[in-house]
Chain A
Amino acid sequence: MAAAVETRSPAPTQHRVSSWWRHVAALTHRNLVHVRREPAQLSDATVQPVLFTVLFVYIFGAAMVIPGSSYKQFAIAGLVVFNITTSTMGTAVGVSSDLKSGVIDRFRTLPMARSSILAGRTFSDLLASILCATIVLITGFVIGWRPGNGIPGVVAGLAVAVLFAYAMSWLMACVGLSVSDPESAQGIGLLVLFPIAFVSSAMVPTQGLPGWMQPIAEWNPVSAVAASLRELFGNPNPAALKDNFPSQNPVFMAIAWSLVIMAICIPIARARLKARTID
């Protein structure tokens, strides 16, 4: 009888690391299965980018003048950032849905690290961000956008954008872990994301903004990412004409912002999850 209660021997560290990755992979896979079963979940990353790209280019483009180029060439980099930023809403909604569903109680009694739940969620959302950015680029290409620096420039720009989306995903995880249900996550998420996405150089050159708003837009991480993409893609970047640090060093700023957001949000998200799963 005593044999029946023997504990399986605790795994050595090496094994624990590989088992953490297995858990993350399994949870990522679970989230992807959800998307396959309910494809509407992914509309933020599939239908919305096509719609926004076409609408912005043909509606705003009609009124906007970009010196020496066209709005279309200017806008695609901004639309990549705009769309992947707003698509991180999926993380807030996903995390809060998980917390509300019964399955979280199952996870709580399994010998797994809580951190793998968040890692699995942000990884599957990372894949969604890559899909979203790719869809914007393809749509842009179809309607006539051309990157001046070729494929390597596009890949480098994509890397910067996806790093930023991953960081924002952790911010949105904090939102999802701080509200009581998926509906609130969506509401609060929009409230956080829309100002960040709009008060920036993503969709318009900041030169046209009211004076007091310009510094906010210049220091906004979304502007840094948008300017980085324009530089890396080889598209017109009016911000380069401005003489301030963020406008002159967009790639540095984009990467620094992404790392700072992660450094702050990852520990907060982990602590929030712990607080929400032990009561």
Chain B
Amino acid sequence: MTDVPVIRAEGLRKTYGEQLAVADVSLEVQAGRILGVLGPNGAGKSTTVRMLTTMTHPDAGAAWVAGHDVITDPQSVRRVIGVTGQDATLDELLTGRQNLELVGTLSDMSRRDGRARATQLLEEFELTFAADRMVKTYSGGMRRRLDLAASLMAHPPVLFLDEPTTGLDPTSRLRMWEVIRTLVADGTTVLLTTQYLDEADTLADTISVIDHGLVIAEGTARELKASIGGDHLEVTLEEPDERAAAAFAPLASGAVQLMDGGRRLRAPVVPQRGLVTAVVRALDDAGITVDDVEMQHPSLDDVFFALTGHAAEEPVADLSDEAAAQDMLMEV
């Protein structure tokens, strides 16, 4: 039953004039799962979402949402999807409540259901206090929340979120993650694009990494990390010792690398219970004093760097960290 993907794309391609936006994207999302589409700005994430949500015709390839062909039967697709884009798609001159009720009516909900649902969503997204104010008075975070609420009006079983947390402050971001988790717990299928590796890592069941319009890797976060070499153990000694490598080697799964003139040793390991203790004990038995031990798990940043040769995110000053922002300015 769960083998039938709710979202399926095969060989999607889209060019805008000379610009190749999406070269070849295929993906699948199973019911009740989150697929994270991860890539830098301009990788083709938004264009992929636009094709899957019937806003843009692909030049080649095909896609289905809940079994409906996005090209030949877009109306049926629109009945099962909710879409939240990077820019809020709201009517600035209507109130928050009027926006939601308009979406309700246009989704063929009855007036009564639309009203009740709007009230409920305003409550859930903590917008009740501003429900009857014009959207043009809303802050960025409030618009994002209202926009997501609008996407959820008709209880869509499939949700597309295009960079849902880009530009949000850390608190709003965490709140957005909570909302997404709750939705999936209720059975919603989600396709989420992001340029934040930690976001994909935290939320997504599976991840498709795309760059220059191509899927360059896919799998779970764990699989992607494993594909670039797994965990490493780094040991720092009190002072360099030539016997250390021999003592460490039997417990490592590959060559032991010496750094810092032999003071630091690093080797790939297969994580298992008691491994770190065993390494420390082996060195201790050889009469070598250990200062520090660090288990290194590869991050998705490492994965992205290994796959593409460039970092996923441009360094952005964290707003919560004034000092870091200052440093950034100094460097510029």
Measuring CB to CB, which residues of chain A are less than 8 angstroms from any residue of chain B?
1-8, 10-11, 19, 22-23, 26-27, 30, 33-34, 37-38, 101-112, 277-279
Interface string of B51-66 (1 = CB under 8 A from A): 0011111000000001
Q: How far is the CA of A8 from the CA of B78 in the complex (A)?
A: 11
In the assembly, what is the distance between CA of A6 and CA of B91, in Å? 30
B204 contacts the other chain (Cβ, under 8 Å)? Answer: no
Contact yes or no, A4 B31, CB < 8 A: yes
Instruction: Identify which of residues 31-89 in chain B touch chain A, using a CB-to-CB cut-off of 8 Å.
Output: 31-32, 53-57, 66-68, 75-76, 78-83, 85, 87-89
| Cross-chain contact of A101 among B4, B92, B102, B106 (Cβ < 8 A) | B92
Tell me, yes or no, whether B213 is within 8 Å of chain A by CB.
no
Interface pair B90/A106, CB less than 8 Å apart: yes
Residues of chain A with a CB closer than 8 A to B98's CB? 30, 33
**Chain B residues positioned under 8 Å from A104 (CB to CB):** 89
In this assembly, does B27 line the interface, its C-beta being within 8 Å of a C-beta of chain A? Answer: no
Contact between A37 and B66 (Cβ–Cβ < 8 Å)?
no
Q: Check A109/B31 contact, CB under 8 A, given A19-B108, A23-B106, A33-B98.
A: no
A27 partner residues in chain B, CB cutoff 8 A: 102, 106
30 CB < 8 A contacts A-B? A1-B2, A2-B1, A2-B2, A3-B187, A4-B31, A4-B32, A5-B6, A6-B66, A8-B80, A23-B106, A26-B102, A30-B91, A30-B98, A37-B134, A102-B90, A103-B91, A105-B55, A105-B85, A105-B87, A106-B103, A108-B54, A108-B55, A109-B54, A110-B78, A110-B106, A111-B78, A112-B107, A277-B55, A278-B56, A279-B56
Q: Is the CB of A37 within 8 A of B90?
A: no
The range of chain B's interface size is 35 or more
Q: How far is the CA of A5 from the CA of B68 in the complex (A)?
A: 11
B1 touches A1 (CB 8 A): yes
Interfacial chain B residues near A103, Cβ < 8 Å: 89-91
Q: Which residues of B pack against A, CB within 8 Å? A: 1-2, 4, 6, 16, 31-32, 53-57, 66-68, 75-76, 78-83, 85, 87-94, 98, 102-103, 105-108, 134, 150, 157-158, 187-189
Q: How far is the CA of A106 from the CA of B78 in the complex (A)?
A: 11
Task: Return the chain B residue nearest A37 by Cβ.
Answer: B93
In Å, the complex CA distance between A222 and B225 comes to: 73
- Chain A residues with Cβ under 8 A from B102's Cβ? 26-27, 30
Specify which chain B residues have a CB less than 8 angstroms from the CB of A108 in the assembled complex. Answer: 54-55
Across the interface, do B158 and A5 meet the contact criterion of CB distance under 8 Å? yes
Question: Are the C-beta atoms of B66 and A5 separated by less than 8 Å?
Answer: yes
